[in-house]
Structure 1
Amino acid sequence: ALSDSSADLGGRKPHFVPITRLEDAQAIRAAEFHPNGQLYAIGSNSKTLRICGYPKSHELRSLREDHVPHQPSVLSKRVKHHKGSIYCLAWNTTGDLLATGSNDKTIKMMRFNGMTNELEGGEAELTMHDGTVRDMCFMEDLSNRSSLLISGGAGDCKIYVTDCDTMTPFQALSGHSGNILSLHTWGGAMFVSGSQDRTIRFWDLRTRGCVNLITAPSASGKGPGSAVAAVCVDPSGKLLVSGHEDSNCMLYDIRGGRIIQTFQ
């Protein structure tokens, strides 16, 4: 949180105060806020899934710069949730579905009750991937008002589209030749993927294929770039930002088809 005393910065850098601190026996690989902003899910190498509450407003108002971080409120916890490490997490836009991906090559999807802050019932397990599931994102199918899960990772380097009502994968999109490291959607039928093969691909579910391909630039401007570790598109769908394993970042004009800026 931003300290109140930093509201009038006077040219100084903002000062952020850590509020809570969660420690796990092993590396924490994924954290994702619920759409309502009041809680978040955490997954780790210890195979444990936690859902934690965000601090209450009165706690934030009383923050001091010497605040000592405390353990967050753990609302729900599942140990040995996967047989392997939890690599990624995703909530759907309404917050009633939570998906987790793992290096055990599976995805688990659960219903979440926002009134009780509890995971409900059993879990659906998806086994179409033949390698580590590295990233996922939900899209909304406006034609039948259902959620779709987009997932990708290692192995066959395919991106799978799953109908969350039937828990059935119904599309497998090919194109990448390296591990898929990042996925992002910004609404509608479009999403973007970043890969170890040094490319960024734009996909349109209406055409069931790749509609645009960008090759990662190198930090020096000469030769090929490096693996695309992260991708994100602004809500208007005009600008792409990508992060690469050589510490290079790129800002890209999607409609103009040009690199605006690269920086480290």
Structure 2
Amino acid sequence: MSFTSDEVNYLIYRYLAESGFVHSAYLFGLESHIAHTSINGNIVPPGALLSLMQKGLYYTEAELCIGDDGQERTCENLSLIDAVVPEIVETRRRELHQQQQQQSSTSSSSSTGPTVKTDSKSSSRTHIHSSTPNEKDRSPMHPVTNTSPQSTHPTITDRSNIDSSSVNGGINHSNSSSADPTSMSLKMFNTPLPGHSHSPASTHSHYSHTHPPSSSSHTNTHQSSTNAGNYPAIPNGNDNSSLSSYSNSTNHIAIPKHEPMDYETVNNSHHHSHYSGNSTSNSLPTLPGSLNNTNNAMVNGSVEIPPNRVTVLRGHESEVFICAWNPTHDLLASGSGDSTARIWNLQGTREPEMVLRHCIRRGDTQVPSNKDVTSLDWNPSGTQLATGSYDGYARIWSSDGNLASTLGQHKGPIFALKWNKKGNYILSAGVDRTTIIWDANSGHCEQQFAFHTAPALDVDWQSDITFASCSTDQKIHVCRLGEQRPLKTFHGHQNEVNAIKWDPQGRLLASCSDDMSLKIWNMTKDTPVHNLQAHNKEIYTIKWSPTGPGTMNPNANLLLASASFDSTVRLWDVERGTCQSTLVKHTEPVYSVSFSPDGRLLATGSFDKAIYIWDIARGEIVHSYRGTGGIFEVCWNSRGTRVGASASDGTVSVTEHVFQ
């Protein structure tokens, strides 16, 4: 009989995920390289670790209850701690035996005394049992043929529990393997998690960004399931739906919260099984005969993009959490769990991608960090790219792939990173509970803000020196360079705040949370201008439309899009505080939404591997594409002709969109 550390790690991983500790599962899977094992998760039943522990407890109890002479002895019920410290059990047995002898002697010496009988069993013991699927509360999600999240977000059960004690974020570099650069997603982490800027995971991802994810946490909505054989597919919680996700060329792992985790095997030819197309139990029906789109679910048929208008970019060796187009050229940047970012040149003749390797110094040499690249952002002129990594460093690269500077002030993973509009400062947020403004030219830390009491998940600039940050501590701070206290602190969310975004004018601040609500704030009020509640699972990310006053499309209404783990996207009329439309087509959590530059189209990406392009005015899908991995991020190029998408199987896809 033998077992490996990979098998032990996998069972622990499954226990964490099935118990709802999705964020913890995400981090454990990342550090133990679960994605690179050959274990077939489909054959491992729910509660496997507890079942094995129970059997071991029975065996230990039987062993302790049989004496050296083979005779059965009185034995009390064991707890798990008793089983691992059997000498304590033996000590208690001897004490009990002595008490019985003393009582027996006392009884025999008294002709009238009653016989004393002792109960050898402990009056209070905790019995561990393995729950069957029917005994568990199940998340109200649909089963799928080939499950895949979380993440697989993966929910990072508490992003605040991540160790950030070391200089480089509590990362044990000596345990990293440069030949096996594995990590997961944050938001989502998560959870990541990706999406906001951390891997879902972050969970998140976001650590959700992944982050992820996170990736990741949540008001409960439980349903009991009677189907013990089906695992719901799906990461930044308590609502049983947060997850993180990660995959590689061998395994694709799904970690639904409170559910068993399954693998989806990916072969080398990149042909993958597609998810079931069944609608989720949360899908909203089309309202027949409706004359407007208010709360009208859009379930129109899709128009598949032909293969000659799809480019699949391969090169990453792990999941790709995030991607972003250069604002002036058709250069697409992507960040991955393989500890690299890549810049893909899609201008005319295809050129090999530029690989931006994220390394750390070990002695006198530079070695791969083996940590996820979970956030990236181009400067406004498109000449530099900033990246944030789980190794605790932010980096600035030139557009031709050369490292310009390394920013090393955070103690732990970086979840979000943004340039200001002027391009002279970079803003970052990390697990160390701080946000930092960096001088982009010198790489110097201009100011570090330590106002949050838990990991900071997302940041967004209001002006060139004023920004907002959100955290798992449920608070939102508005801060300004040079000020020693927040200008404003918003309280109201009941769970971690996954993402925040200022509207194009910097007047309204939108926030989304694992409490399933959207809130709209302004600087003149302490309470939300609007408290928008319609989603029935965590809201992973939000985006404002590039419309309304102060934009290139001033005559169009300002809208806010929200993407949720309930598999839907909602469009909100913020002025009225109402849901204008609900986009129902995806069958898995939606991690990303992106408006086209003219604000007429919306791209959505989900872990069902599908990308949909919606005509907002007509409420119809005009283009669709199904990839080979769950989608973490979608983004439009500056001309509105291409959509880039990063996926859990390590691919980056680019779809061409031509409209007559």
Deviation at 1:202, TM superposition (A): 0.9
* Paired residue type of 2:468: A
Match of 2:540 in 1: 134
Q: Deviations over 1:94-152 (max 9, x none)?
A: 111111000101000112xxxxxx34353110111101011111122669654211112
Task: Give yes or no for contact 2:571–2:580 (8 Å, CA) kept in 1.
Answer: yes
1:246 aligned counterpart, secondary structure:
coil
2:403 aligned counterpart, secondary structure:
coil
Deviation at 1:165, TM superposition (A): 1.2
Match of 2:589 in 1: 179
Alignment of 1:61-72 (within 5 A): none
In the TM superposition, structure 1's runs of 4+ consecutive aligned residues that sit over 4 Å from their partners are 141-145
Q: Deviations over 1:162-218 (max 9, x none)?
A: 1111101121111111111011112321111111111111111121022111122xx
Q: Deviations over 1:18-57 (max 9, x none)?
A: 52434543232222222x33322211111110122257xx
Task: Give yes or no for contact 2:613–2:621 (8 Å, CA) kept in 1.
Answer: yes
Task: Give yes or no for contact 1:21–1:72 (8 Å, CA) kept in 2.
Answer: no
| Structure with max Cα Rg | 2
Distance of 1:201 and 1:28 partners within structure 2: 31
Match of 1:211 in 2: 622
Distance of 2:508 and 2:631 partners within structure 1: 28
Match of 1:75 in 2: 487
Distance of 1:255 and 1:241 partners within structure 2: 15
% same residue:
17
Change (3 A) 1:103 1:188: same
Match of 1:39 in 2: 466
TM-score, with structure 1 as normaliser: 0.73
Change (3 A) 1:207 1:145: closer
2:508 equivalent to 1:102: no
Deviation at 1:77, TM superposition (A): 1.9
Change (3 A) 1:244 1:22: farther
* Paired residue type of 2:632: A
Q: CA RMSD in A?
A: 3.0
Match of 2:633 in 1: 230
2:474 equivalent to 1:84: no
Distance of 1:18 and 1:210 partners within structure 2: 46
Change (3 A) 1:236 1:109: same
Distance of 1:53 and 1:240 partners within structure 2: 34
- Structure 2's unaligned 5+ residue stretches are 1-378, 385-395, 407-442
Change (3 A) 1:121 1:81: closer
Change (3 A) 1:26 1:236: same
Match of 1:67 in 2: none
Task: Give yes or no for contact 1:102–1:133 (8 Å, CA) kept in 2.
Answer: yes
Q: Deviations over 1:238-257 (max 9, x none)?
A: 2222222334333333339x
* Paired residue type of 1:169: C
Deviation at 1:12, TM superposition (A): 6.0
Q: Which has the higher contact order (CA 8 A, sep 6+)?
A: 2
Task: Give yes or no for contact 1:146–1:164 (8 Å, CA) kept in 2.
Answer: no
* Paired residue type of 2:457: R
Distance of 1:152 and 1:245 partners within structure 2: 18
Alignment equivalent of 1:251, drawn from 628, 647, 654: 654
Change (3 A) 1:144 1:164: farther
Instruction: Please say which of residues 43-52 and 242-251 is displaced more in the overlay.
Output: 242-251
Change (3 A) 1:181 1:121: same
2:649 aligned counterpart, secondary structure:
coil
Task: Give yes or no for contact 2:479–2:485 (8 Å, CA) kept in 1.
Answer: yes
Change (3 A) 1:241 1:53: farther
2:605 equivalent to 1:194: yes
Match of 2:525 in 1: 120
Task: Give yes or no for contact 1:148–1:162 (8 Å, CA) kept in 2.
Answer: yes
Change (3 A) 1:121 1:250: same
Task: Give yes or no for contact 1:180–1:196 (8 Å, CA) kept in 2.
Answer: yes
TM-score, with structure 2 as normaliser: 0.31
* Paired residue type of 2:593: L
Change (3 A) 1:171 1:143: farther
Change (3 A) 1:192 1:14: same
Task: Give yes or no for contact 1:52–1:75 (8 Å, CA) kept in 2.
Answer: yes
Task: Give yes or no for contact 1:135–1:181 (8 Å, CA) kept in 2.
Answer: yes
Deviation at 1:232, TM superposition (A): 1.1
Change (3 A) 1:72 1:251: farther
Task: Give yes or no for contact 2:500–2:510 (8 Å, CA) kept in 1.
Answer: yes
Distance of 1:37 and 1:187 partners within structure 2: 24
Distance of 1:12 and 1:210 partners within structure 2: 40
Q: Give the structure with the higher percent helix.
A: 2
Task: Give yes or no for contact 1:152–1:181 (8 Å, CA) kept in 2.
Answer: yes
Task: Give yes or no for contact 1:183–1:193 (8 Å, CA) kept in 2.
Answer: yes
2:405 aligned counterpart, secondary structure:
coil
Deviation at 1:72, TM superposition (A): 7.4
Distance of 1:179 and 1:132 partners within structure 2: 9
* Paired residue type of 2:519: K
1:15 aligned counterpart, secondary structure:
strand
Distance of 1:32 and 1:54 partners within structure 2: 14
2:500 aligned counterpart, secondary structure:
strand
Residue correspondences, number: 219
Distance of 2:454 and 2:527 partners within structure 1: 26
Match of 1:58 in 2: none
Task: Give yes or no for contact 1:159–1:173 (8 Å, CA) kept in 2.
Answer: yes
Q: Deviations over 1:62-113 (max 9, x none)?
A: xxxxxxxxx97632223x43100101112211111111000101000112xx
Task: Give yes or no for contact 2:492–2:527 (8 Å, CA) kept in 1.
Answer: no
Change (3 A) 1:12 1:191: closer
Distance of 1:203 and 1:54 partners within structure 2: 39
